[in-house]
A and B are shown apart, each in its own frame.
Chain A
Amino acid sequence: MVIRRFPWIRQSLVIWHKELRIEFRTRFAYSTLLMFAVTTLITISFSVGGFVPDSDITAALLWIILFFSAMAGLGRTFVQEEEKKTITALKMAVAPEPVFLGKYFFNVTLLCSLTVLVVPLFLVLLNQSVPLWAPFLTTVFLGALGLAGASTIIAAIVAKTEAKSAMMTILAFPVLVPLLLATINATRICLAGAPGTAPTTELLLLLFYNGAVVTASLLLFEYIWNE
């Protein structure tokens, strides 16, 4: 019923399904994300050895890994359409907004599946306990959503530039600073687990950040897509 009334949703799901199907066959983006995350994680775990870093450092390390993994793997969504010249066929068939949403859903799927693997591994390798599980999982989920949202719109901009791989991190960092500060702080609170504390402000900030990124992206995407 909802899908029939909002064709964007149906079209976005068709694009999301196509992205998953191609990714399942090539495994390009997921391999990049996973390899980057796992190698960085193992390097960190070797460097700290048996030492258990405090929650400030652990929180920062977790989001550094997720940020750079996202930059390495999520930027390809639009670049591939440009490089393989499939963008014209897509532009001729569908409005810009469902394309953004479909790619966003795909990036969310990739990043969420990465966090499902990497976060437990991270906690085990760094010998870290999580006293506040529910807020911690909410932080990771909202952080992954925000990373995926900002990465998707920036990937669309980067696909139009010459130095694609370098531009992704450069353009994404200022956009992602509020998200990273909020997620690191929320993660730190969850890992420290002081009695009576909860990262309520940070979680609200993440919620609004996600809403703002998706709304702004939907408004701006048509101009980027038709450039």
Chain B
Amino acid sequence: MLTQVKVHNLTKAYRHRLLFRNLSFIIPDQSVFVLLGRNGAGKTTFLRILCGLVPASAGQVEITVDGKILMPQEKRTHLGLVAPDLELYGELSAVENLEFFAGVRGIPFSLTKARDLLDFVGLRGRGHDLVHTYSSGMKQRLKYAYALLHEPKILVLDEPTTNLDEDGVQLVDSIIERQRRRGIVIMATNEPREVSYGDQTLSLDTAESGNLA
């Protein structure tokens, strides 16, 4: 087994408001996991716990890559995140953003690599424009370039097609398919088209004890 996410008795509560309790399940390699739920059900919070951005109230998320359980500080190497509350630097161009994130991640960077990645996400010819001049859809495409830059084993997507046109939606489809072959996709959505990709789905509206559908 190359990559696996094991969620064990995961609980999150904010003061007296319980978001979810005792979620336990395993996401196997080469699969797509879809998280469903009404607004405020805790989908984004779950993804943030998974990424190590927010602590859980109880329980744990164990990520295994190449048979090795990751320490919290190792998670960022293997996770790529696209989310509405994640923005890139507007004062830098797309290429400069990618150069910066490659630099802090310690991965090799070249203009060719950046150009290929930007071409792939549909930003051909706009790589040297400052990001604050981009439309919302272009910014969303750039977030995919950022998330895929280090070729993560696990791609975490929160509302993956927000602000995207039909071409962009198809791009997300192809990214999900590609990532399924490479590792795991975990996404939070309520879009029927995206839900249909799920090998496993979990509704946080009914999943107090983590029953998988």
Contact = CB atoms under 8 A, between A and B. Distances in A.
Contacts of B90: 84
B76 A93 contact: yes
Chain A interface helix/strand/loop/mixed: helix
Contacts of A10: 103, 106
Contacts of B89: 18, 22, 84, 86
B92 A98 contact: no
Contacts of A14: 100, 103-104
Given A21-B96, A25-B91, A26-B91, A93 B86 contact: no
B73 interface: yes
A129 B124 CA distance: 60
Nearest to A91: B53
Given A11-B103, A14-B104, A15-B104, A92 B51 contact: yes
A216 interface: no
Interface in B72-114: 73, 76, 79-81, 83, 85-92, 96, 100-101, 103-106
Nearest to B55: A226
A66 B129 CA distance: 37
Contacts of A7: 106
Interface centre among A17, A89, A91, A95, by most B CB within 10 Å?
Answer: A89
A11 B146 contact: no
Nearest to A14: B103
Contacts of B88: 86, 89
Interface of B: 51, 53, 55, 73, 76, 79-81, 83, 85-92, 96, 100-101, 103-106, 146
Contact of B104 (A11, A22, A84, A88): A11
A17 B92 CA distance: 12
Given A10-B106, A11-B106, A21-B96, A89 B91 contact: no
A98 B103 CA distance: 12
A98 B88 CA distance: 18
The 9 closest A-B pairs by CB, nearest first: A14-B103, A85-B87, A94-B104, A88-B86, A22-B91, A18-B100, A11-B104, A93-B104, A25-B91
A84 B103 contact: no
Contacts of B51: 92
Given A18-B100, A25-B91, A88 B83 contact: yes
Contacts of A22: 89, 91-92
Interface in A16-40: 17-18, 21-22, 25-26
A88 B92 contact: no
Nearest to B132: A84
Given A22-B89, A25-B91, A85-B86, A92 B76 contact: yes
Given A21-B96, A22-B91, A95 B83 contact: no
A94 B91 contact: no
15 contacts: A7-B106, A10-B103, A14-B103, A14-B104, A21-B91, A22-B91, A84-B87, A88-B83, A88-B85, A89-B87, A89-B146, A91-B76, A93-B101, A93-B104, A98-B104
A23 B1 CA distance: 46
- Between A21, A92, A95, the greatest number of chain B beta carbons within 10 A of the residue's beta carbon is seen for A92
Contacts of B53: 88, 91-92
Contacts of B100: 14, 18
Given A18-B92, A22-B91, A94-B76, A85 B104 contact: no
Q: Which of A10, A15, A25, A84 is most buried by chain B, counting CB atoms within 10 A of its CB? A: A84
